[in-house]
Structure 1
């Protein structure tokens, strides 16, 4: 089993991380039993296939489709994967730009690739903001 800290450290590349803000689900008690309670939500770390299925069941969207869509726009994702800075929120500074959903996975180092992938493991994180905007960020795990 992989916990939140181990996932953030890149120790569980076969798992996915899923953050769900409290507003994304109605039965808070049942989801809490599957993950770690964090500020304003729950962080789940689940083995890949089961995690992708859990994401799809919770959100109603295939996680890789979500990642492709969110990957079209750069934003800033919190290193603990429980929030971010919505690109729209930076422009109008309104309320309502909290992360609603975060989906993340680790890509292990690829020696035959280009860019940061040759330097080490890379965290890929995809966010849906409460305002509906989707964005992403990737970074080298240190």
Structure 2
């Protein structure tokens, strides 16, 4: 794991975003120039503006619009940002994430809940079956 990925998952890069793009979704070896080759794809950690633009280019949808849709359904996303559990996995079809978009939010005691406990990682995934879902956790838990 690279230092940028480790720092992101620890909540130390709140101005950055992480993108996991599955090989089954985007087959472009040039992506490894920008991120880490991981099981099943590439994980990229970049500054927020570039990351949102890259997400738009790779998926054809805006990052924040996708996040709003994915927030409607919660299901576990692996804390390494490379896998997840589709909430529709009981139905027929392939059920692996095509892509995952994530950002870190700094601790905010005024909000309460997990936000008072430390930095929070927000992650949003789209499954190969088309279902979008989200998860969040304290960076210290990862």
Shorter chain as normaliser: what TM range?
over 0.9
- The residue number in structure 1 matching 2:65 is 65
Asked if 2 retains the 8 angstrom alpha-carbon contact of 1:17 and 1:44, the reply is: yes
Task: Tell me how far apart the structure 2 counterparts of residues 14 and 24 of structure 1 sit (CA, whole Å).
Answer: 26
Matched, 1:106 2:107: no
Asked if 1 retains the 8 angstrom alpha-carbon contact of 2:20 and 2:43, the reply is: yes
Asked if 2 retains the 8 angstrom alpha-carbon contact of 1:2 and 1:45, the reply is: no
Q: TM-score, normalised by structure 1?
A: 0.93
Asked if 1 retains the 8 angstrom alpha-carbon contact of 2:74 and 2:133, the reply is: yes
Q: How many residues align?
A: 139
Structure 1 ranges of 4+ moved more than 4 A: none
- The residue number in structure 2 matching 1:55 is 55
Counting only pairs closer than 5 Å after superposition, residues 1-142 of structure 1 correspond to structure 2 as 3-26=4-27, 28-89=28-89, 91-92=90-91, 94=92, 96-142=94-140
Q: TM-score, normalised by structure 2?
A: 0.93
Asked if 2 retains the 8 angstrom alpha-carbon contact of 1:13 and 1:107, the reply is: yes
